[in-house]
């Protein structure tokens, strides 16, 4: 596995090695000891799996507030997504900035989204499946989000004509400037 830098120093792209032969390939996608030594000493406690049927399904931008903040390690199991992490730590020098990566079943890349970052993705293909490990359990009372289309963020979502497919909840998130923000460095 390799660690690659992104536009934000705290957000990391993990590139697992693949070993192939005539049968296909094999890849170690996570090792706690390697991750702690080369990325961050994060203990993941839950793994989530989503499926999105349509191209342009947008999920985000989500986070959990302290004391139940979640770091996420995201990978695409089927199809392709544009994955993004936005720094929402109020005293961070990169507050309001983002890092993004294309995660696909073919490339096997993973994105580490630390606590204090909002996370979202849009599907680039139909029938996408995404899995992500999280460092704390889901806590509905700590669930939060910011508007995917916040003009101040100016995220370059690669959307199909007609715009994204959104949940009702994701249509209602505030812009970052209006967020009662509990995150600091």
Give the C-alpha separation, 27 to 17, whole Å: 6
| CA 175 – CA 164 distance, rounded (Å) | 17
Residue tagged active-site, from 98, 109, 132, 173? 132
d(CA 57, CA 13): 22
The reported pTM is 0.94
In the set 62, 109, 119, 173, the catalytic residue is: 62
| 62 annotated active-site | yes
Residue 181's pLDDT band (boundaries 50, 70, 90)?
confident
Q: Per-residue pLDDT tens for 36-79?
A: 999 999 999 999 999 999 999 999 999 999 999 999 999 999 99
Nearest-10 Cα torsion for 19, 20, 25, 30:
10
38 is catalytic: no
């Amino acid at each position: 596995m390799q660690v690659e830098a992104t536009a934000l120093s705290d957000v990391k792209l993990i590139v697992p090695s693949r070993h192939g032969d005539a049968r296909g390939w094999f890849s170690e996608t996570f090792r706690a000891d390697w991750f702690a030594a080369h990325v961050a000493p994060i203990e993941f406690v839950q793994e989530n799996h989503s499926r999105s049927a349509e191209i342009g399904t947008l999920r985000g931008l989500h986070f959990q507030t302290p004391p139940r903040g979640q770091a996420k390690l995201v990978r695409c199991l089927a199809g392709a997504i544009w994955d993004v992490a936005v720094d929402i730590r109020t005293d961070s020098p990169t507050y309001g900035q983002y890092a993004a990566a294309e995660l696909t079943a073919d490339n096997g890349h993973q994105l580490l989204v630390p606590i204090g970052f909002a996370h979202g993705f849009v599907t680039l293909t139909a029938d996408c499946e995404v899995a992500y490990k999280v460092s704390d359990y889901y806590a509905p009372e700590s669930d939060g989000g910011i508007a995917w289309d916040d003009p101040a963020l100016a995220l370059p979502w690669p959307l199909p004509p007609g715009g994204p497919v959104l949940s009702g909840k994701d249509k209602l998130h505030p812009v970052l400037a209006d967020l009662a923000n509990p995150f600091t460095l």
